[in-house]
Amino acid sequence: MSLNCNEINKILEELDLEGSFIQDIIQPTFDQVAFYTYKTGGKTVMVCTAQDSTRINETRRKITKNEKPLRFMELLKSRIKGARINKIEQIGLERVIRMELSHTGENFLMYIRLWNNAANILLCDENNRILDAMFRRPNKDEMVGEIFPVPVADESKFAQIDRWPVRTFDEIREEYEALPQSKYESWESLSFNAKVDLFYSEHARSLSRAALLEKAEKWYITNHTKRLAALENLEKKLDSFKNAEMYRHQGDLILSFGHLMDGASKALECEDYESGKIVQIMVDPKKSAQENANDYYSRYKKAVSGSEELKNDIELAKEQIELLDKQYEQIKNEPNPIKIEQLLRKDSTPKQQQKKAHPGLDYTVNGWYILVGRDANENDELLRHHVRGDDMWLHTRDYPGGYVFIKHRKDKTVPLDILLDAGNLAVYFSKARGSGKTDLYYTHVKYLRRAKNGPKGLVLPTHEKNLCITPDPERLKRLERQKNS
């Protein structure tokens, strides 16, 4: 249940915020903002816009900071941190608070609408033009640049003011008196703000936690189902590679019985010297026996290579499912709904909406930071904006592929193990991936020169050294686990 109009007036009367300064602003969740104010003493004013617990009140509880700063908080900090509250009042009995602010020669108006299903906080200039809102609602014209339609006080409501009594919250008195702090402050001595904070911190939190756990269950079931389906697909694909040895054996048979090919038939019929049975092998009549055998050997190599990669992917998929299970257990065991909301938001944000500081991939290994570009665009962007002269650059010789960079650490020499990690990544993200032993060159970024009129990202190295890499699946598997999300 949200605050009614008389309760809002009582809270504002106790807060006595006129003449206070806003020292700081914290937004722990999308629907809560805390204002740290100071007048003769400090007060933390919490504004909550969540359904069924819409309110404004002083709180003495510690406000949990969000892992990443939220948009609306950053806007408020940039415009009204340090501002003076010149006036604060409810507009009539409309459950809309109007706050007049001044800061460094500018005047602002903040509207806090405490309606249960349409709560919002809007910061406007002195002409009611919206600078930003906690919730941007285009269908209500509550967007940046729009004029906020200030509610008009309904005079008829004052004749019915007794319809909305101020609650006593006696239903939580027994719970409070069982708390340790009740020894220092009796129930009768508590302010209305303190009782509101107690009531919503306990009852609204439990309701909020139940709703969040229901949301978490849906999130878990959806993601768990998707990951299980992906694991099953990988296992089916691996199963299809079990005939890899058959491809090699068929290539051997074509070489052994290639003299039987007549240049017209699409199948070679011969005796399998292992089983003693007559078999038919599909061939391309336009190609020689050697070429047809090479086609089967190529299929064999791809199947073997693909099989190794799939085993790695299957292991990672299983680890991701285990991690998901642990995350869900962590959410279920978390008593604080704010923390639950933050955990859910972190894990449910779509990857395409997660901002990256740079293109490509990055890995952190024993304190060393490795960047990987996977194509010409990422290579060029990394070179232009994300690496410096003393950073190490690696690239495969004679094969196109991604650039790998090892970020420089002051007074540190790149260890061989880190160089081998970066080398394996350079081979893996190049056309040399399935070629076995591969040569790379490496040098510092300051020794790279852009090729004049060359393709995007193309560089010519000097002072380069050679590194011979034999791809190590176990090393790549370990690196995949150390990839930064």
Confidence class for position 468, pLDDT limits 50, 70, 90:
very high
Specify burial of residue 435 (Cβ count, 10 A radius: 0-12, 13-18, 19+). middle
- CA-nearest of 409, 415, 429 to 471 is 429
The vertex-12 CA angle with 9 and 18, nearest 5°, equals 135
Which carries the bigger pLDDT value, residue 356 or residue 52? 52
| 354: pLDDT strictly greater than 50 | no
- CA-nearest of 46, 41, 86, 40 to 62 is 46
Report how far residue 348's alpha carbon sits from residue 223's, in angstroms, rounded to the nearest whole number: 9
Report how far residue 401's alpha carbon sits from residue 265's, in angstroms, rounded to the nearest whole number: 40
Which carries the bigger pLDDT value, residue 180 or residue 194? 194
Confidence class for position 277, pLDDT limits 50, 70, 90:
very high
Which carries the bigger pLDDT value, residue 23 or residue 454? 23
**According to the model, what pLDDT value does residue 191 have?**
95
**According to the model, what pLDDT value does residue 309 have?**
66
Report how far residue 363's alpha carbon sits from residue 383's, in angstroms, rounded to the nearest whole number: 17
Specify burial of residue 39 (Cβ count, 10 A radius: 0-12, 13-18, 19+). middle
> Using CA of residue 61, residue 64, residue 69, residue 72, what is the dihedral sign?
negative
- Tokens read off for 6: 């008389």
Which carries the bigger pLDDT value, residue 209 or residue 114? 114
Section 61-75 average pLDDT: 87
Reported pTM: 0.51
| 207: pLDDT strictly greater than 60 | no
Tell me the three state secondary structure of residue 251: helix
Radius of gyration of the chain (CA): 34
- CA-nearest of 324, 319, 344 to 334 is 344
188 phi and psi, to 5 degrees? -65, -30
**According to the model, what pLDDT value does residue 131 have?**
97
| 10: pLDDT strictly greater than 80 | yes
Q: Which residues of 149-188 are buried (b: 16+ CB within 10 A; e: fewer)?
A: eeeeeeeeeeeeeeebeebebeeebeebeeeeeeeeeebe
**According to the model, what pLDDT value does residue 387 have?**
93
| 30: pLDDT strictly greater than 80 | yes
| 69: pLDDT strictly greater than 90 | no
Mean pLDDT of the chain, nearest integer: 89
Q: What are all long-range contacts of 208-213, with beta carbons under 8 Å and residues at least 24 apart?
A: 208/50, 208/53, 208/337, 209/335, 209/337, 209/340, 212/337, 212/340, 212/341, 212/344, 213/331, 213/332, 213/340
Confidence class for position 356, pLDDT limits 50, 70, 90:
low
**According to the model, what pLDDT value does residue 346 have?**
66
**According to the model, what pLDDT value does residue 355 have?**
47
- Amino acid at site 189: S
Contacts of 205 (CB under 8 A, 6+ apart): 336, 337
The answer to whether 267 and 258 have CB atoms below 8 angstroms apart is: no
What is the bridge-based pairing of β-strands 55-58 and 120-125?
unpaired
Report how far residue 113's alpha carbon sits from residue 96's, in angstroms, rounded to the nearest whole number: 4
**Highest mean pLDDT (candidates 166-175, 355-364, 474-483):** 166-175
**According to the model, what pLDDT value does residue 353 have?**
42
| 106: pLDDT strictly greater than 50 | yes
**What percent of the chain has a predicted confidence (pLDDT) above 90?**
60
**According to the model, what pLDDT value does residue 317 have?**
83
Weakest mean pLDDT among 6-20, 149-163, 202-216, 341-355? 341-355
SS3 annotation, 266-316: CEEEEECCCCCCEEEEECCCCCCHHHHHHHHHHHHHHHHHHHHHHHHHHHH
Report how far residue 124's alpha carbon sits from residue 461's, in angstroms, rounded to the nearest whole number: 56
| 92: pLDDT strictly greater than 70 | yes
